Structure 1
Amino acid sequence: MVSPDTTPIQGRRRHAYRLLWRWHFYAGLCCLLPVLWLASTGLIYLFRPQIEPMLERAYAHVTDAPPQPVSAQVRAALAAVPGTVLNAYELPTSPHAAARVLVGKGSQVVRVYVDPASLRVLHVVNEKDRFMRVIFYLHGELKLGSAGSMVVELAASWTIVLLLTGLYLWWPRGGGMAGVLYPRLSRGARVMWRDLHAVTGVWISLFALFLLVSGLPWAKSWGGLLREVRQQYAHATAMPDWTIGSADERARNRQANTPVDEHANMPGMAGMSMPVSAMDLTVLDRALPSVQAQHLAAPVLMAPPSMKNPQWTARSDADDRSRRADLILDPGSGKVVRRTDFSQRPLLDRLIGYGVAVHEGALFPPLNQIVSALTALGLITMVVSACNLWWRRRPKGVLGAPAPRENARYPVAMVIALIVLGIVLPLLGASMLIVLLLERLWLRRWQGARRVLGL
């Protein structure tokens, strides 16, 4: 009579468990540092709405006198940075605050702070040098441009594998909730660290998966493919409200607030507005009351015509994208010609907008910020506990991967799941093929690598 533990089904389950454990182990080796990096920088960026006003408090109240016309404020900003053109004028949230004018030259975007009453220039800073922009670059692209964006996308894709395999490995199988829903802190250091790793993962994995997936539309590879799907599915004529590629492209498009082609990487994209000598800046004075009457969510940017958009525009650039709206302005009267609200955008754009807002902690603050911060802290806890567990268990001279089973086969469901993941996340699929080829063609034939890697 066959024991229940030795049935073919039980044997396949043990093989699947062992194989997934190995995947989890090696994915962890590749992802621990990127996860620590993304969680730490993301944790800082989550609180941008609180940090930026604190850093710019010197410009929150600069005058009590009546402001000069907006066109005069813009001219003062342009004169402070010779050779630039107007990108956008940000409507002040208070009549006492400094005016913020974005000017551009080539690929450079500069933020100029102007006293609206005296027209004195208070501060000039390169947009990419502002503290939260630096964190933005570090989080989204490691300050390596589009190549860094792809590295982050690859790390995020493997982290998805790490979380999914971790959920399978630690899912309760009749052993109670201890070590699954709550840690056992009184059973020694090894059990405590193991439980901290597992329990934290169980509690935060679903939201961490959401944060990872919602961040993919920004990535160079996955975001580009999603953009193509959007064009085919939505048949949309409006430019998407989310951008892809390097942070330079995203920053230029977002701050200039003009619907330029996000695939383009042309010199001068940031300054594609017409020269100031050919621009009637008094349109800003005429349009300001009409824009203010629309009660758009701050920050609100008014932008001049560009190579891609021949009309004056205004737009809410609110972190909560569900509150955003775009305005087309009549240059003669300054009146609003057309308004496009978030609810009028294609369904795919709205879904992505909600996901991006949650990713940035902006959809339902401060609760969204708190939940996301706890998720980031949970990921950091998992990284620290994983390193501690590996350090305690590591055999001498090898990495300590779970030993493979002889003649073990991947279960059909697992193969299908990996294929689906590889299709949905093409960069992950390509990397899995490369890893498989390296293992089969090189690493297994190199005796030192076989021993260290546990092959």
Structure 2
Amino acid sequence: MFTSKDFYRSVWRWHFFAGLYVVPFLLMLAVTGLVMIFDPIIERVQHGDLYQVAEVSDTPLTYEAQYQLVADAYPASPIQRLYVSDNANDATRFQVTVEGDTRSVFVDPYQGKVLGDISISDSWYVWADDTHGTFMMGLTGDWLIEIAISFTVLLIITGVFMWWPRAGQSKWRAATRLQGKGRTFWRDLHSIIGVWVAVILLFFSISGLSWTSVWGDKLVQAWSTFPMENSARNVSSTLTHEDLNPKGVKQIPWNLEQAPLPESSVDSHSSAIFGEDTITLDQVVSNAKSLGFTRFQLHFPQGKTGVYTATASTMGRDINNALDDRTVHYDRYSGVVVADVGFMDYNWFAKSMAFGIALHMGQFGVWNLVACTLFCLSVILLSLSGVVMWWKRRPTNALAAPPMPKNLKRWKHAVWLLLPISLLFPMATLGILVVLVADGLILLCVPKLRRIWA
């Protein structure tokens, strides 16, 4: 069955249908992925006068004093978090919301002055991240992208099947052969790139699907979420860790986003005044450093029962080694640690995501940055070569899907072989049903469309 011409045509036809939908999304994901990889690097170079201080001394201002400088400079703007660096040359960075715009505010801790700010909300990174995740279309865009990524898994499987050398043929030759002209050249180029990036593309697809609203949010992320209720005495009924993320940017560890935030005890602090009856920033920072934190974010309490939260994660770009992932919550009044979640507390899928995110974002040094860049460029070339190959094959004025198998039983066999795989991803099932309806019911009933399609 697997070697028959009809079965091959069935797989080819599914490969075409999946590619027809997926190619625009893969191009978008690759381009926006490149933007997200390089924008933080470009921003630090472009705004080096803000990120780094001119002179370093032995007596920096306290974090409380620096906080007050920002509060005085932005009197009507809430201050959400503090970024703590282990580099003495780095300016202290606060995050402030100014009339709905999230901004990074930089403070020189040695000269005691605010250096300036940069918009986070209106940045290339946020634009690329929004486009990458939702096509800037909210939940509808999220669903469309989830279908596309699910179909990418089908593309990988069907593509490897069609490339797989027959008995007696060399796999190495099939994976390196680039010859001929016209469509043959583009076919070889497409198959060579595809087979070399197949495993990496599958990895990026699975890790990307983990952020989607159906397969990710409702299934694997919900299953992988750390049970904060078992660690903290009091947890919020309305706020989750996702509420700590800056607007438009994901920085909280993936497996904590859906976990409720712990709460501070207010039994004996009903009239506590922030800054007087609560612990200070310097106390929290000092405590976090004593626990082993080096580069980390300190999220400020939200409301009277809120907690201070110190996070160091690959998701937040604070660290590169996922083994050092850690999130610690402090009671805002007593300073007691109310919850401490580290890498070893994650389940196996969450651990994989912590490492995968760092690889996905090119954080493991120059080699990882180069590898991600080459991968994104390969996906672009893979997509474009598939379009060129189809364009050269198709007859004039026809969409020209691969021919329908003469023996329709083979077509059904292909469906039943691919459907179980796609059922792992619910939105792929929806896409397959649409293809079946379009290819089976509509085209068989409309001769004009059938002439264009076949």
What range describes the TM-score normalised by the shorter chain of this pair?
0.7 to 0.9
Q: Quick one: structure 1 residues 261 and 210, their matched pair in 2 at CA, closer, same or farther if it must change by over 3 Å?
A: closer
2:366 counterpart of 1:373: no
Aligned to 1:127: 120
Q: Quick one: structure 1 residues 244 and 216, their matched pair in 2 at CA, closer, same or farther if it must change by over 3 Å?
A: farther
CA distances 1:164-199 after superposition (whole Å, capped 9, x unpaired): 1111111111343476211334x3343322211111
Q: Quick one: structure 1 residues 190 and 165, their matched pair in 2 at CA, closer, same or farther if it must change by over 3 Å?
A: same
Q: Once the 2 structures are TM-superposed, how far is the Cα of residue 233 of structure 1 from its aligned partner?
A: 11
Any idea what SS the aligned residue of 1:448 has? helix
- 2:241 and 2:259 in contact (8 A); partners too: yes
Aligned to 1:162: 155
Q: Once the 2 structures are TM-superposed, how far is the Cα of residue 336 of structure 1 from its aligned partner?
A: 5.5
Aligned to 1:302: 298
- 1:313 and 1:329 in contact (8 A); partners too: yes
CA distances 1:104-154 after superposition (whole Å, capped 9, x unpaired): 478653321222234433223332223323322222222233332222222
- Bigger mean CA deviation after superposition, 43-52 or 372-381: 43-52
2:325 counterpart of 1:324: yes
Q: Quick one: structure 1 residues 417 and 373, their matched pair in 2 at CA, closer, same or farther if it must change by over 3 Å?
A: farther
CA distances 1:272-322 after superposition (whole Å, capped 9, x unpaired): xxxx97455761022222222333253x11122225973222111333433
Equivalent of 2:44, from 53, 64, 82? 53
Q: Quick one: structure 1 residues 211 and 228, their matched pair in 2 at CA, closer, same or farther if it must change by over 3 Å?
A: closer
Q: Distance in 2 between matches of 1:243 and 1:14?
A: 53
How many residue pairs get matched? 427
Q: Distance in 2 between matches of 1:279 and 1:365?
A: 40
2:180 counterpart of 1:180: no
2:106 counterpart of 1:110: no
Aligned to 1:272: none
Any idea what SS the aligned residue of 1:124 has? strand
Q: Which runs of 4+ in 1 moved over 6 A?
A: 231-236, 242-245, 247-250
Any idea what SS the aligned residue of 2:297 has? strand
Q: Quick one: structure 1 residues 368 and 253, their matched pair in 2 at CA, closer, same or farther if it must change by over 3 Å?
A: closer
Q: Once the 2 structures are TM-superposed, how far is the Cα of residue 370 of structure 1 from its aligned partner?
A: 3.2
Q: Quick one: structure 1 residues 96 and 207, their matched pair in 2 at CA, closer, same or farther if it must change by over 3 Å?
A: closer
Aligned to 1:191: 184
Q: Aligned-residue CA RMSD in angstroms?
A: 3.6
Q: Distance in 2 between matches of 1:105 and 1:277?
A: 24
Q: Once the 2 structures are TM-superposed, how far is the Cα of residue 249 of structure 1 from its aligned partner?
A: 6.5
- 2:165 and 2:171 in contact (8 A); partners too: yes
Q: Distance in 2 between matches of 1:41 and 1:149?
A: 15
Aligned to 1:289: 286
- TM superposition score normalised by structure 2: 0.81
Q: Once the 2 structures are TM-superposed, how far is the Cα of residue 380 of structure 1 from its aligned partner?
A: 1.5
- Bigger mean CA deviation after superposition, 353-362 or 25-34: 353-362
Structure 1: 5+ residue runs without aligned partners? 1-8, 265-275
Letter in 2 for 1:103: V
- 1:236 and 1:346 in contact (8 A); partners too: no
Q: Distance in 1 between matches of 2:79 and 2:257?
A: 15
Q: Quick one: structure 1 residues 33 and 63, their matched pair in 2 at CA, closer, same or farther if it must change by over 3 Å?
A: same
2:74 counterpart of 1:81: yes
Q: Distance in 1 between matches of 2:69 and 2:190?
A: 56
- Bigger mean CA deviation after superposition, 286-295 or 303-312: 303-312
- Bigger mean CA deviation after superposition, 328-337 or 24-33: 328-337
Q: Distance in 1 between matches of 2:31 and 2:55?
A: 38
